[in-house]
Structure 1
């Protein structure tokens, strides 16, 4: 994060669809289902087109190794609800048009050393396990470039006590250490315990800054050796690694050094070509270490910018991507981007915030693809391992709107075929609501218990719970404010996640094509409250809200799903700036 905030079943699915395509039912009830969620109405009989099976995109690659299909568990004791009358908004989901398999690695998050030794916090650990992020990145953030994984309170002798900021002024280095057992920080060994307890995979960012500010004879080799020793200590527990954090930015340690203290001829200001050369040094050392410990799945990511550097010349190193890619060549296994979507440090409205996910996500992917094309390099997986919003001033980051934004980002990441993503971050600091944390940091949030889950937690929890193993095409007519993301389950159900960006409730009819519909559909409705309008700190799940001033219902796992009959149409109300997570039964 920027320092400003410290911060298997493919054959089975096709076979199922082919079996369904042979089914014909001329009954009136089935014709009704066809018009409102069943399939194609073709002269009184249903003809179902089987789904396609697209290849894994190069931008996803090995991150989908071990992909597994999902089985939807029918909700126990759902609550029957009355349907609203159909309106003008229609969402069409086509099960036959598969866009991509869904990577479980897109639901990740960032943990960090300033959360404290939270392994002993049962409330947080249970919520984190329920969230099932699958990927947890560590140790940062900008802290990665001043982090010494094997130290306790002392840096290496060749790490200076002072570092230069972008303007050339000296500041205390403020190093962080992996073996510091103080209660205000977080040890590396506890990070490994959290991965084990939450059934998550690690993503480790090694200290690149040390390759710049180190005062030894060969600082890049020294930093690479330190990283390789971490790979050895890790002993095969972690597959995904990356070299540095946002090193193209003038806020990062190592951006500027004193050349008089440097012994291998590095320039005062970092550039992409130097980083690319150093990346290969890191890659050689770390891959050798991985081979020594039998880590055959080891993959290493390279830092890239998320947009054209010409638009950020005051803070971003120009031509970073082109120069870094030229000197690193084919050495990276994947490419890393970060994005905070909204205008930096502006008091943005809900309309501005919720307009960003689609364009920003696609533009970012296109930028990396074009950078690789221009460099003459093959396309490889693209990972977004930090994302959130930068809006401040009205508690936007901790609001229901941030939760709706999270839903849209997840949908767009799947649609644009990213390989992996990790939201920033699990816990940060309150700062009057300018807090990226998914949870409050202990009890620093007024009116909230320790480790209180913010609204985005609930939106991300229900997204993963109600989204299938494949994204399928979906479209909306009748309103530009309604966004849809369709999915299918190998177990035979169809799903759709619906978002309402407007300030008014909307009634939506969902038609599902090429689908043999069952009898019921199930859904959860999430929306904000009336507090701190329009940025409510609360979220309601099927009408159930928090007992305190912020967050959501503690009973989120046991709240009954809403349910209605598919016959007569799948029709739901999406609350203003809210979402509906819906799954329809198949036959």
Structure 2
């Protein structure tokens, strides 16, 4: 707090001036900043839902980009955005920009791909995939499995799944990802990990004590890791009938487990895992945080979701979990959603999920702890929504809402996935893989939106509001180096001109911005993104030189004004005085 107050005074005293004691004295008239005395910003308390994910928070320094002069829009407008530098909503957790990695998408040793991920700066990458963690044995040789793992697993209806199999951490084929190359990627990209251990093995294992065997396997991974990874999850979506832990063959089980999993059972097992993993961490001198799986909504009427999951888990788990995990795919499953339906989910669903998880903890009498959204994306399908410009705009809104709602951690699903020729475009990957006519690991539109969000969003979110339009959404921020910024989203189908005013902030000479929008292909769901007018050389993705594109620059004299393109975003930062 003290540093922020000192910083505000420094702003007002810049170049030998003194804090302005007279509210009638006009300072910097018409430049989009304050015209009188300013109120110093004050950081709010760290929310319980953020907790230790902010322990290593650091301030950000804005680096001015290369620029090209841009004329201000001349059209009049009634749309005004006001951002208040003194009203800090939250510090920004660097772990909100994470992603997931899939073991079946290659070894991630290509220099261009590694460079793109480094530029993206996800800060945290979750492995070894979602449901694949159920069958993942980190220490096994290629294509191996433990002797006490059944030949095949069961389908939700109890029949044998002849196509089921297992995964190992030591597959070195080009199409797979070895555990060693996962660790290598983290190091190359200056990224930390979040690892999901195999909980399902505690269910389908055929040994005398499958829970102990699975917990020991997880603990051995912690020992092998030797402190490289701080964040760990026990299981993935364990409440779902698509997971290997959902139904087991009771005739092969030796510790009396039910055929169908319950939240209560998972909670009991979680405690065994947590104790074993913490003992392992102590053995190697590491400190770890362990997350437990909750369900993110009250969708107990869905037959694929175990009814009463959260109360069952929380009734058993006590204080053993360090954080709680939810997933959110925002739109309805396999719905051919239109663009505005997708965009409107970002604000509503982010808050609903946080409120529901907090409420579940409160109802159970459990302490509020950090919330991690370790998977998020959209389920919309049928019109190539997942690989479109709209997916990028939605990603911007999700990031803004996650900061506003004070999540501690989030990881988008996923860096790369797979191309289904029967359902082209139903692919969550941030990078292409297997797409006809497109080089593997070509960045898709969402990559560019997420890249520029981090580049132009500061270390603190400050309050902002929009008047004159329900189609324009704003997310404002401040940098520790003194600059103020705002991200503007236009959900409408027409361009919008917007005035921006910063309260409690003395604006400097210029403002810098990037404008991102889709192309004219594929109706609402363009597969392209244009950055300040520069686009891809082919039919998909964005400009290869994205890191070197000059920002638009305009003088703050006369006010800060920009045109936000239809279904596009402007990322803007204003100079400090």
- Judge same fold: TM > 0.5, yes or no: yes
The 4+ residue runs of structure 1 with deviation greater than 4 A are 25-28, 30-36
Q: Aligned partners of 1:383 and 1:86: how far apart in 2?
A: 43
Counterpart of 2:400 in structure 1 is 411
Written as runs of structure 1 = structure 2, the 5 A alignment for 1:222-233 is: 222-233=213-224
| Cα distance between partner residues in 1 of 2:115 and 2:385 | 26
Structure 2 residue aligned with 1:439, among 431, 453, 456?
Answer: 431
Q: Displacement of 1:80 after TM fit?
A: 3.5
State the partner residue of 2:492: 502
How big is the shift at 1:12? 2.5
Q: CA offsets, 1:261-303, max 9 Å, x none?
A: 111110010000000000000000000000001112x000000
The answer to whether the Cα contact below 8 Å between 2:4 and 2:42 also exists between their aligned partners in 1 is no
Name which of 385, 400, 403 aligns with 2:389: 400
Query: Is the CA contact (8 Å cut-off) linking 2:371 and 2:409 kept in structure 1?
Result: yes
Report the 3-state secondary structure (helix = DSSP H, G, I; strand = E; otherwise coil) of the residue aligned with 1:464. helix
- Alpha-carbon shift at residue 450 of structure 1 (Å): 2.5
Aligned partners of 2:474 and 2:486 also within 8 Å: yes
1:200 to 186, 191, 205: 191
Cα distance change of structure 1 residues 86 and 447 upon mapping to structure 2, 3 Å threshold: farther
**Equivalent residue runs for 1:306-345 within 5 Å:** 306-312=296-302, 314-345=303-334
Q: Is the 8 A contact 1:32 1:567 kept in 2?
A: no
Give ranges in structure 2 of 5+ residues lacking alignment.
Answer: 13-17
Gap change, CA 1:27 and 1:162, over 3 Å in 2: closer
How do 1:53-68 and structure 2 match up within 5 A?
53-68=43-58
1:365 alignment partner in structure 2: 354
Shift of 1:34: 4.6
Aligned to 2:266: 275
Task: Summarize deviations over 1:361-388 as a string: whole Å, max 9, x none.
Answer: 0010011111111111110000001000
Q: Which of 410, 414, 417 is matched with 1:421 structurally?
A: 410
Alignment-derived partner of residue 475 in structure 1 = 465
1:6 matched to which residue of 2? none
Deviations 1:19-48 (A, max 9, x none): 4455349999x9584555211x3xxxx110
> Whole-Å Cα distance in 1 between the matches of residues 543 and 419 of structure 2?
20
**1:37 matches 2:32:** yes
Q: Does 1:378 align with 2:373?
A: no
1:295 aligns with 2:286: yes
Alpha-carbon displacement from aligned partner over 1:478-529 (angstroms, at most 9, x marks no partner): 1111000010011111000000011111001011100011010000000000
The residue that corresponds to 1:537 in the other structure is: 527
The match for 1:550 is: 540
Q: Does residue 1:125 correspond to 2:121, yes or no? A: no
Output one character per residue of 1:555-577: Cα deviation in whole Å (capped at 9) or x when no partner. 10111100111111110000000
Distance in 2 (alpha carbons) for counterparts of 1:406 and 1:311: 29
Q: Secondary structure at the match of 1:151?
A: strand
Alignment equivalent of 1:135, drawn from 118, 121, 124: 124
Q: 1:86 Cα shift?
A: 3.5
Q: Secondary structure at the match of 1:223?
A: helix
Among residues 444, 466, 487, which one is paired with 1:454 in the alignment? 444
For the pair 1:74 / 2:64, whether they are aligned, the reply is yes
- Between the aligned partners of 1:382 and 1:573, the Cα distance in structure 2 is 36
Of 482, 493, 497, 2:483 maps to 493
Of the three residues 81, 103, 107, the one matched with 2:93 is 103
| Aligned counterpart, 1:3 | none
**Contact 2:73–2:497 (Cα < 8 Å) also in 1:** no
Q: 1:578 aligns with which of 553, 568, 575?
A: 568
Aligned pair 1:525/2:515, yes or no?
Answer: yes
Assess, with a 3 A threshold, how the Cα gap between structure 1 residues 77 and 25 changes in structure 2: closer, same or farther.
farther
Superposition deviation, residue 162 in structure 1: 1.1
Q: Is the 8 A contact 2:226 2:286 kept in 1?
A: yes
The answer as to whether partners of 1:136 and 1:200 remain within 8 angstroms in 2 is yes
* Structure 2 partner of 1:216: 207
Contact 1:148 1:207 in 2 (8 A): yes
Deviation at 1:79, TM superposition (A): 3.1
By how many angstroms is 1:195 displaced?
0.3
Tell me what 2:378 maps to: 389
> 1: CA distance between counterparts of 2:236 and 2:179?
18
What is the aligned counterpart of 1:162 among 152, 155, 180?
Answer: 152
Q: Is the Cα contact below 8 Å between 1:33 and 1:568 reproduced in 2?
A: no
Q: What are the Cα deviations for residues 393-420 of structure 1, in whole angstroms up to 9, with x where unaligned?
A: 1100000000000000000000000000
Report the number of matched residues. 567
1:50-93 Cα deviation digits (max 9, x unpaired):
11221111100111111100110112344333333330111110
Aligned match for 2:249, one of 239, 246, 258: 258
Match of 2:15 in 1: none
CA distance, structure 2, for counterparts of residue 438 and residue 565 of structure 1: 35
What are the Cα deviations for residues 408-453 of structure 1, in whole angstroms up to 9, with x where unaligned? 0000000000000000000011221111000012xx2233222110
Question: Contact (CA 8 Å) 1:106, 1:421: kept in 2 or not?
Answer: yes
Q: 2:137 aligns with which of 134, 148, 151?
A: 148
